[in-house]
């Protein structure tokens, strides 16, 4: 029974946390964390997407960038929340910035400031490491390689190599290995739900941990799309090239989002090609979870399943 085909594709998605799972549904999200005493802590919140207030932000090719930023902000908030349940010896002492913010802004404002800074830092790191650094390194080949398209391909290859190296090095960390296991639990639970099976540990355990609509797949598609988009743009200096890369980022993210949306709704040769690299990368970014992790993922999923059956269709 556990090997039935997928009955439908859900828009419910998740994120692995520190000893927990974030599941995001149609109108609410749930964070479930396994506390040090073994008990589960559950936090359910309504979703307030900015596109509900400004419908234009939900238009195709615009919604990709908006959704990416919202996902990043929600993810940082959820990670901060889950980390608060870690044993004190694992949390460490608050640094001077945390103490200063707490003193001058108060608890809630200080938390928002820290989250805002974390989002900015995360974006800056991602852009600098995966876009600007490859551009600078590719500039070293300007005097050697005259063909513009070939230079772009070299830059793309450098970008992918840096991305893969980052993922592989991160997987060596003990804490990250457990996050990868929760990532696997999230995927298995979503597959179990999509197949119409009862959400139990037994049914979820036998599902695949590789899901075609994972954020890992999206990031890899961003890498590929960036190569294609930037290949049609010429430059005269490294600085101009850097500015062009920054200006084209919303375009790249927008196209990538539409591609992953399409791939999630269809089964054909194109979607298989689009999904293959991301699923291969999930061999690193996911791991087989234990039963306690599946329990966390199932608890989170149950909180966000909509009352109206099928309203969460992808």
At 36, the pLDDT band (50, 70, 90 cuts) reads very high
Query: pLDDT at residue 67 above 80?
Result: yes
pLDDT band at 101; cut points 50, 70, 90: very low
CA torsion angle 259 264 267 268 (round to 10): 10
Provide the pLDDT for residue 91. 53
| Confidence tier at 13 by pLDDT (50, 70, 90) | very high
Tell me the pTM: 0.85
Taking 80 as the threshold, does the pLDDT of residue 114 lie above it? no
Q: What is the mean pLDDT of residues 85-110?
A: 58
* Percent of the chain whose pLDDT exceeds 70: 88
What's the length of the chain?
Answer: 314
Measured CA to CA, the distance from residue 204 to residue 244 in angstroms comes to: 45
List the chain domain ranges: 13-91+127-304
Q: Per-residue pLDDT tens for 193-238?
A: 999 999 999 999 999 999 988 888 888 888 889 888 877 776 667 7
How confident is the model at residue 90, as a pLDDT?
A: 59
What DSSP assignment string belongs to 79-104?
A: HHHHHTTS-HHHH----HHHHHHHHH
């Amino acid at each position: 029974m556990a090997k039935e085909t997928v009955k439908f594709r859900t828009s419910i998605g998740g994120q692995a946390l520190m000893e927990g799972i974030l599941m995001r549904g149609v109108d609410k999200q749930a964070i479930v964390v396994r506390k040090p005493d073994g008990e589960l802590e559950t936090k359910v919140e309504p979703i307030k997407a900015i596109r509900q207030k400004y419908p234009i932000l939900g238009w195709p090719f615009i919604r990709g960038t908006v959704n990416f930023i919202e996902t990043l902000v929600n993810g940082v908030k959820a990670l901060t929340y889950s980390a608060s349940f870690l044993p004190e010896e694992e949390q460490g002492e608050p640094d001077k910035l945390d103490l200063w913010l707490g003193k001058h802004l108060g608890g809630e404002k200080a938390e928002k400031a820290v989250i805002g800074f974390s989002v900015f830092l995360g974006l800056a790191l991602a852009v600098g490491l995966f876009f600007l650094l490859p551009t600078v390194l590719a500039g070293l080949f300007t005097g050697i390689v005259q063909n513009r398209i070939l230079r772009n391909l070299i830059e793309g290859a450098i970008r992918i190599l840096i991305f893969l190296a980052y993922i592989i090095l991160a997987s060596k960390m003990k804490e990250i290995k457990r996050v990868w296991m929760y990532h696997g639990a999230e995927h298995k639970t979503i597959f179990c739900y999509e197949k119409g099976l009862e959400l139990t540990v037994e049914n979820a355990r036998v599902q695949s941990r590789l899901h075609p609509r994972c954020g890992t797949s999206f990031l890899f598609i961003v890498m590929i799309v960036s190569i294609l988009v930037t290949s049609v743009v010429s430059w005269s200096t490294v600085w101009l090239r850097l500015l062009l890369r920054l200006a084209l980022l919303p375009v790249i993210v927008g196209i990538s989002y539409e591609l992953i949306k399409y791939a999630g709704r269809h089964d054909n040769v194109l979607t298989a090609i689009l999904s293959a690299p991301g699923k291969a990368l999930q061999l690193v970014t996911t791991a087989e979870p234990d039963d306690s992790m599946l329990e966390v993922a199932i608890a989170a999923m149950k909180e966000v399943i909509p009352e109206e059956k099928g309203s969460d269709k992808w």
